[in-house]
A and B are shown apart, each in its own frame.
Chain A
Amino acid sequence: DSGVTQTPKHLITATGQRVTLRCSPRSGDLSVYWYQQSLDQGLQFLIHYYNGEERAKGNILERFSAQQFPDLHSELNLSSLELGDSALYFCASSVRTGRETDTQYFGPGTRLTVL
């Protein structure tokens, strides 16, 4: 168990809908990362937050947004869902030490199915 928790484990919804995925980082970790794992695109970095501030964006669609709250948990919001958004969404966390060698520890993921 990495100490990173994600809810829900599974989510089934319809096209056009909006969902929110939640992540709680390991105790003490300030950085949260979101990744998408799909069969056709593999593991893709979406976004990185550090202590409440957005630090980097990857291949994240405009329909997707994220935030990190004062208690350091993070939410990934996916809207106007399409069939192609079906994937496994991972959250990872790390401690930023300033030496940029931090290991990212991954949660168990949320499996999103869009019907």
Chain B
Amino acid sequence: AQSVAQPEDQVNVAEGNPLTVKCTYSVSGNPYLFWYVQYPNRGLQFLLKYITGDNLVKGSYGFEAEFNKSQTSFHLKKPSALVSDSALYFCAVRDRRSNDYKLSFGAGTTVTVRA
């Protein structure tokens, strides 16, 4: 079984401040972890993924995420948020042992960056 929790429905930050979107996961084995972003009336855009190796993953648009196995977390971060980062963010997980390739998504976190 695999699941993701995004504990915050909403995150509000001022432009220029650091942005963190939290994600914790649960899988039977080791995880593949992903972050996607959804802008209004658009599909999901891939930001980054953790497969193996370095726990700090760098992705698109200045985002990065840190994999923490002991805390089963994969928080998304951006050092300096932009108003254009306002969107809905999804964390997703897949169990490495799974053969079905399905992604299990969290409920999403709405990020609002105020000017």
Contacts and interface: CB of A to CB of B under 8 A. Distances in A.
A18 interface: no
Interface residues of B, number: 22
B90 A43 contact: yes
B100 A42 contact: no
Interface string B66-110: 000000000000000000000000100000100111111111100
A48 B105 contact: no
Contact of A45 (B42, B46, B103, B106): B103
Given A100-B96, A100-B101, A106 B43 contact: yes
A31 B101 contact: yes
Interface in A15-63: 31, 33, 35, 42-43, 45, 48, 55-56, 58
Contact of A90 (B44, B51, B108): B44
A96 B99 CA distance: 12
Nearest to B102: A45
A106 B36 contact: yes
A37 B88 CA distance: 13
Nearest to B96: A100
A109 B106 CA distance: 18
Nearest to B52: A101
B105 A42 contact: yes
Interface of B: 32, 34, 36, 42-46, 49, 51, 90, 96, 99-108
24 contacts: A2-B46, A31-B101, A33-B101, A33-B103, A42-B105, A42-B106, A43-B105, A45-B102, A48-B100, A48-B102, A55-B99, A56-B99, A56-B101, A58-B102, A96-B101, A100-B96, A101-B32, A101-B51, A103-B34, A103-B46, A104-B46, A104-B103, A106-B43, A106-B45
